[in-house]
Chains A and B, each alone.
Chain A
Amino acid sequence: MVTHEGGGHHHPPSGFIRKYIFSLDHKVIGLQYYFLALFSVFLGMALSMLMRIHLVWPNAKMPFTPGGQMTPEQYLALVTMHGSIMVFMVLTTAPQSGFGNYMLPIQIGAEDMAFPVLNMLSFWTTFVSLVVLVSAFFVTGGAPISGWTAYPTLSALGEIAGPGQGAGQNLWIIGVAIFCIGSLLGALNFITTTVDLRAKGMTLGRMPLTVWAWLVTAILGLLAFGVLLAACLLLLLDRVAGTSFFIPGGLVVTDTPIVSHTGGSPLLWQHLFWFFGHPEVYIAILPGMGVASHVLSTFSRKPVFGYKAMVGALGAIGFLGFCVWGHHMFISGMSPYSAFAFSLLTMTIGVPSAIKTFNWLGTLWGGRIQFTTAMMFGLGFVSLFVTGGLSGLFLAQPSIDLYLHDTYFVVAHFHLIMGVAAIFGIFAATYFWFPKMFGRMLNETIGKAHFWLTFVGVYSIFMPMHFLGLAGHPRRYADTTGVNFLAPLHPVHYFITIAAMITITAQLIFLFNFFYSMKVGQKAAENPWNATTLEWSIPSPPPFDNFAGHIPVVYRGPYEFSVPGATDDYIPQYLAPERVGKAH
């Protein structure tokens, strides 16, 4: 065994390509993921803006439709691509692969991920999948119109089922399959790193809740993406190789009998898809929960209330997340008896979710809250999590689902809980860790303006959607004029569209703050928030191998704030007991 001077300090690669493009450094890869998500989220938002405009002004001329107005199939292509890009390229990448990659090794005291080459490969695989997915817009027929859920037989029959169902749907399937591979590689890396590379003293019980959240998320990813990958391959085979996994016999599409398929089951896809799809919801939101716990504790200057219960709740949510996929299928034609079990298990997920909420309130209670922008997004996360979570209790019941399934009530529910709440987690993480990642502080005044416009904005967009759903408005309608009972709902759509325009425009403030502060923001100290975890023990931004060869020793839990008898109101994990200042 070779020992280097200074405990094995490695030198960074010198070439631009190895340093910034095909980098093996987890920090660079984390940022690559972050910027991929940043690009994707603005693309996804732009698509949603076009949809909102079309719903309210169906005759509006759109720049990308040479003929003038948007057609129903173009609207559905936007539905599909908005959902796919947001779920895969934003909600899966930024909270987990982005921040997880950057912060997890540092927070556990490791120099890098366990498999740096694998890490690089997983990013570039994800990048390729984004390119393939987006390329679906540019092929004959355009992007697919079967939604991000791609239910067969609509997704399996090819062009005959509709525009976009030819080459576009193939590219979608291939893009998602490639994404699965990248995510599997990432998940393996996260789990191995957390298990193997923790610094001395970093016991499981001393891991920050962010690390716990990334670990549980990685386990979910490992189990879920494999299933989606298999499902995608089967669907592709049905389309290009004449198999019939998902296509039954005897179908007739626009008076043309489908003679080449027989014996398949469309429900099989739904089971496979949702076996992935439901855990995917938690893949999006669990890292946000970790960040919220972390930020709430730091800025209320108090330990997390019920650390062990928080870890337990993460695990319980992760485990139960695999037992409830059937609640997406209550009206799908699966056995109504299984709905019974899926429903009760889903209601049970409310319990660990409630524990988390109560414990966040318990963390804040009696604290000394500092309203940094990161904290405000953390607090917003809690509010959104409650609002979005509670509507789940309606949809978890098959009887109520008979009315509300596939209405805007569902759109409101999942946007608040897995979309907006998760995005608030990402924002909290961004405002919190930006100083560490870029060595400069984000502007807090601009940050506060961004918070207020976003917080009020998202509630204005998504709360009214509940009422659209209660009126029975089905989702994924390209137009509200085809069905009589939708006519009175037009003013609601109008309100939502205006709110969406304002909220989306407000995100430009964030973008400005991000790049402006990166260049000219106030220089960040090593530990600007007086926080306790290991990333705050090193310079901002961190050196190439994080700890410059001096791996820290961990002496205590992650949230020792306002400990009685100590001079400072925080005791970092890396501070040896004899160096803790005692108040006299």
Chain B
Amino acid sequence: MKRKRGEQGSAAVAFSLATFLVIFTIVTVYLFLAKPAWGWFPPSITEFGKQIDAQFHRTLVITGIVFVVAQLGLALVIFRSRDHGQKASFFEGNSTMEFIWTLATVIMFVGLGLYGEHAWAEAHFQGAAPGALQLEVTGQQFAWNFRYAGPDGKFGGTKPELVSASTGNPLGLDPRDPASKDDVVSPVAYVPMGHEVELLIRTQDVTHSFYVRELRLKQDAVPGMTIHMHFNATVPGEYELACAELCGLGHYRMRSFVNVVSQDEFDKWIRDQETALQQQ
């Protein structure tokens, strides 16, 4: 009696659940293969970014295979082993199979991880190339400021008590320090195309995060620290910088732009800024 009740509806449920898993798998795989324009990486503008993309794709292939095998395997076993009056087979395990899939996942997952360390090492273990443009990025609730060292190549001193965004000194530059006199401070960044840029990332108040999608770079700005990153952008354009670490009520609108321009345009821009400074 009991068995009969189990059989009824078992096929229908098994079929619908298996079918759902198959459809779900197909849709998911399709979307990741289709790379929908609305939900995908914008093109990378650095060679480094292309490495990140390549590692992402390697990971996508490996996880994609495991995903398909596991979901379809689940669908298959649900349908195949549904209750149709058969007796369940009895086995409590299989050491050989355990060993094989353990070894396979170790090789796949750890191998993948090792492969990806390369790009990370390039971002963080190597310093910026010699002659890099020094660009200080400072986050504060809820704005970004960029500082260039000026002709003397030195960032001037700053003092917390001099910080006053309202009177035009958002970084608290110390006017008594001669090195600070030629420092160019700008709410948007300009960088020369094809030239190495070294970022010095700081914050004045809480943790923020420097994130430019096209650079494939993200780095928290941490109170009390100055953190170095570097990049070399090769495609001109205006790229949006969005804060990526919760920093308070204005987090969602804490953005700026990084403009990648030709060397000539950059030279002109920075000269104009310096001239403006001298006229103050």
**A145, B248: Cβ atoms closer than 8 Å:** yes
Contact of A340 among B117, B247, B252 (CB under 8 A): B117
- State whether A482 and B93 are in contact (beta carbons under 8 Å apart), knowing that A336-B124, A383-B71, A492-B39 are contacts in the complex: no
Kindly list chain B residues whose C-beta atoms are within 8 Å of the C-beta of A355.
Answer: 98, 101-102, 105
Nearest CB of chain B from residue A421's CB, rounded to whole Å: 13
- State whether A399 and B88 are in contact (beta carbons under 8 Å apart), knowing that A253-B205, A467-B31 are contacts in the complex: no
**A483, B117: Cβ atoms closer than 8 Å:** no
**B93, A306: Cβ atoms closer than 8 Å:** yes
Q: Does B67 contact A (CB under 8 A)?
A: yes
Kindly list chain B residues whose C-beta atoms are within 8 Å of the C-beta of A253.
Answer: 141, 204-206
**B163, A257: Cβ atoms closer than 8 Å:** yes
**B81, A72: Cβ atoms closer than 8 Å:** no
Q: Does A326 contact B (CB under 8 A)?
A: no
Contact of A303 among B91, B112, B250 (CB under 8 A): B91
Kindly list chain B residues whose C-beta atoms are within 8 Å of the C-beta of A402.
Answer: 52, 120, 123, 216-218
A320 to B70, CA, bound (A): 23
**Residues of chain B in range 146-186 having any CB-CB distance to chain A below 8 Å:** 160-161, 163-166, 172
- State whether A397 and B59 are in contact (beta carbons under 8 Å apart), knowing that A307-B93, A364-B78 are contacts in the complex: yes
- State whether A302 and B93 are in contact (beta carbons under 8 Å apart), knowing that A247-B223, A474-B211, A479-B252 are contacts in the complex: no
Q: Does B276 contact A (CB under 8 A)?
A: no
**A248, B224: Cβ atoms closer than 8 Å:** yes
**B205, A483: Cβ atoms closer than 8 Å:** no
Nearest CB of chain B from residue A558's CB, rounded to whole Å: 12
**B55, A400: Cβ atoms closer than 8 Å:** yes
One of B6-14, B128-136, B258-266 contacting the partner: B6-14
**Residues of chain A in range 64-105 having any CB-CB distance to chain B below 8 Å:** 71-73, 76, 79
CB-CB nearest in chain B for A402: B218
A400 to B44, CA, bound (A): 13
Q: Does A205 contact B (CB under 8 A)?
A: no
Contact of B224 among A249, A455, A464, A470 (CB under 8 A): A249
**Residues of chain A in range 555-581 having any CB-CB distance to chain B below 8 Å:** 559, 561-564, 569
**A366, B91: Cβ atoms closer than 8 Å:** yes
CB-CB nearest in chain A for B212: A472
Kindly list chain B residues whose C-beta atoms are within 8 Å of the C-beta of A307.
Answer: 92-93
A260 to B105, CA, bound (A): 52
A390 to B253, CA, bound (A): 32
Nearest CB of chain B from residue A237's CB, rounded to whole Å: 18
**B93, A562: Cβ atoms closer than 8 Å:** no
Q: Does A38 contact B (CB under 8 A)?
A: no
A305 to B71, CA, bound (A): 18
**Residues of chain A in range 284-316 having any CB-CB distance to chain B below 8 Å:** 300-309
Kindly list chain A residues whose C-beta atoms are within 8 Å of the C-beta of B242.
Answer: 472, 474, 483, 485
CB-CB nearest in chain A for B201: A333
Kindly list chain B residues whose C-beta atoms are within 8 Å of the C-beta of A383.
Answer: 21, 24, 71, 74
A72 to B89, CA, bound (A): 58
Kindly list chain B residues whose C-beta atoms are within 8 Å of the C-beta of A71.
Answer: 249
CB-CB nearest in chain B for A337: B125
Q: Does B274 contact A (CB under 8 A)?
A: no
Nearest CB of chain B from residue A344's CB, rounded to whole Å: 5
**Residues of chain B in range 214-244 having any CB-CB distance to chain A below 8 Å:** 216-220, 222-225, 227, 240, 242-244
- State whether A266 and B224 are in contact (beta carbons under 8 Å apart), knowing that A255-B164, A361-B74, A403-B213 are contacts in the complex: yes
**B240, A306: Cβ atoms closer than 8 Å:** no
Interface mask (A127-151 → B, CB under 8 Å = 1, otherwise 0): 0000000000000000001110001
- State whether A406 and B249 are in contact (beta carbons under 8 Å apart), knowing that A252-B160, A365-B81 are contacts in the complex: no
Nearest CB of chain A from residue B85's CB, rounded to whole Å: 8
Q: Does A207 contact B (CB under 8 A)?
A: no
| B: interface residue count bin | 35 or more
A306 to B116, CA, bound (A): 32
Q: Does A358 contact B (CB under 8 A)?
A: yes
Kindly list chain B residues whose C-beta atoms are within 8 Å of the C-beta of A400.
Answer: 52, 55-56, 59, 116
One of A116-124, A367-375, A423-431, A512-520 contacting the partner: A367-375
Interface mask (A320-343 → B, CB under 8 Å = 1, otherwise 0): 000000000001110011011001
Q: Does A31 contact B (CB under 8 A)?
A: no
Q: Does A405 contact B (CB under 8 A)?
A: yes
Kindly list chain B residues whose C-beta atoms are within 8 Å of the C-beta of A485.
Answer: 42, 213, 240, 242
**A368, B81: Cβ atoms closer than 8 Å:** yes
Q: Does B17 contact A (CB under 8 A)?
A: yes
- State whether A387 and B67 are in contact (beta carbons under 8 Å apart), knowing that A72-B252, A154-B206, A333-B227 are contacts in the complex: yes
**B92, A264: Cβ atoms closer than 8 Å:** no
Kindly list chain B residues whose C-beta atoms are within 8 Å of the C-beta of A306.
Answer: 92-94, 98
Nearest CB of chain A from residue B168's CB, rounded to whole Å: 12
Kindly list chain A residues whose C-beta atoms are within 8 Å of the C-beta of B166.
Answer: 255
Interface mask (B76-114 → A, CB under 8 Å = 1, otherwise 0): 011011110011111111100110011001100110111
Q: Does B119 contact A (CB under 8 A)?
A: yes
Q: Does A153 contact B (CB under 8 A)?
A: yes
CB-CB nearest in chain B for A79: B246
Kindly list chain A residues whose C-beta atoms are within 8 Å of the C-beta of B209.
Answer: 331, 406
Interface mask (A233-262 → B, CB under 8 Å = 1, otherwise 0): 000000000000001111111110110000
One of A44-52, A157-165, A215-223, A534-542 contacting the partner: A157-165
**B24, A403: Cβ atoms closer than 8 Å:** no
**A362, B63: Cβ atoms closer than 8 Å:** no
Q: Does A376 contact B (CB under 8 A)?
A: yes
Q: Does A398 contact B (CB under 8 A)?
A: yes
**B204, A252: Cβ atoms closer than 8 Å:** yes
**A343, B113: Cβ atoms closer than 8 Å:** yes
**A472, B227: Cβ atoms closer than 8 Å:** no
A369 to B253, CA, bound (A): 52
**A369, B120: Cβ atoms closer than 8 Å:** no
Kindly list chain B residues whose C-beta atoms are within 8 Å of the C-beta of A390.
Answer: 63, 66-67
Kindly list chain B residues whose C-beta atoms are within 8 Å of the C-beta of A564.
Answer: 90
Contact of B70 among A250, A337, A357, A475 (CB under 8 A): A357
- State whether A379 and B74 are in contact (beta carbons under 8 Å apart), knowing that A76-B249, A154-B207, A355-B98 are contacts in the complex: yes
- State whether A399 and B10 are in contact (beta carbons under 8 Å apart), knowing that A351-B102, A379-B17, A562-B90 are contacts in the complex: no
A145 to B141, CA, bound (A): 14
- State whether A361 and B20 are in contact (beta carbons under 8 Å apart), knowing that A303-B91, A386-B67, A403-B41 are contacts in the complex: no
**A361, B73: Cβ atoms closer than 8 Å:** yes
Nearest CB of chain B from residue A534's CB, rounded to whole Å: 20
**A492, B38: Cβ atoms closer than 8 Å:** yes
Q: Does B62 contact A (CB under 8 A)?
A: yes
Kindly list chain B residues whose C-beta atoms are within 8 Å of the C-beta of A248.
Answer: 223-225
Kindly list chain B residues whose C-beta atoms are within 8 Å of the C-beta of A336.
Answer: 120, 123-125
**Residues of chain A in range 196-246 having any CB-CB distance to chain B below 8 Å:** none
Nearest CB of chain B from residue A345's CB, rounded to whole Å: 9
A337 to B38, CA, bound (A): 35
**B62, A371: Cβ atoms closer than 8 Å:** no
- State whether A476 and B246 are in contact (beta carbons under 8 Å apart), knowing that A252-B204, A332-B220, A467-B38 are contacts in the complex: yes
Contact of A379 among B78, B89, B101 (CB under 8 A): B78
Contact of A483 among B63, B67, B92, B252 (CB under 8 A): B252
Kindly list chain A residues whose C-beta atoms are within 8 Å of the C-beta of B247.
Answer: 154
Kindly list chain A residues whose C-beta atoms are within 8 Å of the C-beta of B101.
Answer: 354-355, 358
Kindly list chain B residues whose C-beta atoms are within 8 Å of the C-beta of A339.
Answer: 120, 124
- Sample 13 A-B pairs with CB under 8 A, ordered by A number: A72-B249, A145-B249, A153-B205, A307-B93, A336-B125, A369-B81, A376-B13, A467-B31, A477-B251, A477-B252, A489-B39, A492-B38, A492-B39
Q: Can you name 16 extra interface pairs (CB under 8 A) apart from A366-B88, A393-B112, A561-B90?
A: A153-B205, A255-B163, A307-B92, A347-B109, A361-B77, A362-B93, A368-B88, A371-B17, A386-B66, A386-B67, A398-B116, A399-B117, A471-B40, A489-B39, A563-B90, A569-B88
- Counting from the closest, the 5 A-B pairs by CB-CB distance are A248-B224, A467-B39, A482-B253, A336-B124, A347-B113
